[in-house]
Amino acid sequence: MSFFMDLIILMYGLTASFFTSFVRWLIPVDHKSVSGEVCLITGAGNGIGRLMAIEFAKRRAKVVLWDFDKEGLKETSAMIRELGMDVYTEVCDVSKKDVIKAAAAKVKQEFGEVNILVNNAGIYTSKMLLDLTEHEIENTYKVNVLAHIWIIREFLPSMMERNHGHIVNVASTVGLFASPGMPDYCSSKHAAVGLHNSLFLDLQNAEKYGVKTTLVCPYLIHTGMFNGVHVKYDWILPPIKPQDCADIIINAVLTEQNMVAIPGTMYIAHILSTILPTRALIAGYKFVGADKAISYFKPNRPYQYSNMDPSSGY
Ligand SMILES: NC(=O)c1ccc[n+]([C@@H]2O[C@H](COP(=O)([O-])OP(=O)(O)OC[C@H]3O[C@@H](n4cnc5c(N)ncnc54)[C@H](O)[C@@H]3O)[C@@H](O)[C@H]2O)c1
């Protein structure tokens, strides 16, 4: 008997969910206000981290910016001050747990609590598995996924206590399906996706519906992180303009979407990657040139030149 009750509950849940999604698609949801909310963004010294910081500041959030690129942080904060908004910055290497803890303590002292956390800092080194040094592999994991864990652990307890907050985890489409030539990056992004999904379910189980989550999975963005990388037919899969990407992420956060793949065609790519026979998948990769895309990479970030020597600071 209880099986049939459970089945009815499931049917109700499915119908309600599809109906709500359909209505949301027909009638765009209002954007929530982030005015006065403390918003911490990691990796805000460059790329989409900077653009997201500007967008949150425009909406009158109190932005707190972390990055280990001091000059990049200075530039971002100057842009935000030009908007007439205050900004708090901290040079923080998120690959280091103790540094994160110290920086988080400072933020709590200064602002009380963080309401919106954007785990955005990420690194990419273009090497095959056997060419990567042990330090490079560990560092990719430290920045791309372990930092998410340590930072979430700093701010989640208060969000749960208040049943209020929003955690945004920037992963990648290569966290949903694989791409050649990036074993450490790709696997770290898969871990970030798993972390996000698991956190979301735990918050649902704990009935902390006021703590929202957004997983961000972009395809190639023109920020320079993947400098030179391109597929054979760029017109089929053009790189995303950084501002477009930031706008889509902000929209997803303000409408409280749990996940956003950018562009939308990546949802189809994700589904195809799980159902296509292996040979068909390989043929698809070859057709668009995804098999060779990474071979055009030209290093463009300090940590990509330094060969990840631990003494270099990276
Ligand atoms: N660029 C792309 O094509 C692309 C595609 C999918 C996902 N992403 C992801 O989007 C996020 C932002 O990427 P982006 O394109 O803006 O790259 P970016 O290189 O322009 O910016 C990344 C920022 O993270 C900072 N950072 C790196 N290591 C750090 C550390 N140890 N401590 C503190 N800050 C650190 C860098 O200084 C930089 O400011 C990353 O997580 C990236 O993996 C990027």
> Does ligand 1 come within 6 angstroms of the Cβ of 226?
yes
Give domain limits for the chain.
33-308
Interatomic CA distance for residues 163 and 157, integer angstroms: 9
pLDDT band at 305 (very low <50, low <70, confident <90, very high): confident
> Does ligand 1 come within 6 angstroms of the Cβ of 43?
yes
Interatomic CA distance for residues 4 and 1, integer angstroms: 5
Atom of ligand 1 nearest to the CA of 45: 39
The contacts of residue 171 (CB under 8 Å, 6+ apart) are 189, 192, 193, 196, 215, 216, 217
Q: What fold characterizes domain 33-308?
A: Rossmann fold (3.40.50)
Active site residue 185: yes
Closest residue to atom 5 of ligand 1, CA basis: 220
**Which member of 12, 88, 124, 185 is catalytic?**
185
Do 269 and 275 contact (CB within 8 A), yes or no? no
Atom of ligand 1 nearest to the CA of 48: 16
Q: What share of the chain is helix, strand, coil (3-state, %, to 5)?
A: 55, 15, 35
Q: Taking Cα atoms as reference points, which of 215, 41, 57 lies closest to residue 114?
A: 41
Closest residue to atom 14 of ligand 1, CA basis: 47
- pTM of the predicted structure, to 2 decimals: 0.95
pLDDT for the residue 214: 98
Interatomic CA distance for residues 258 and 244, integer angstroms: 19
> Over the stretch 52-69, which tens digit does the pLDDT of each residue have?
999 999 999 999 999 999
pLDDT for the residue 23: 87
Bridge-based pairing state of the strands 38-42 and 211-218: unpaired
Q: Regarding predicted confidence, which is higher, 253 or 304?
A: 253
pLDDT for the residue 22: 87
Residue 182 has pLDDT above 70, yes or no: yes
Interatomic CA distance for residues 184 and 186, integer angstroms: 6
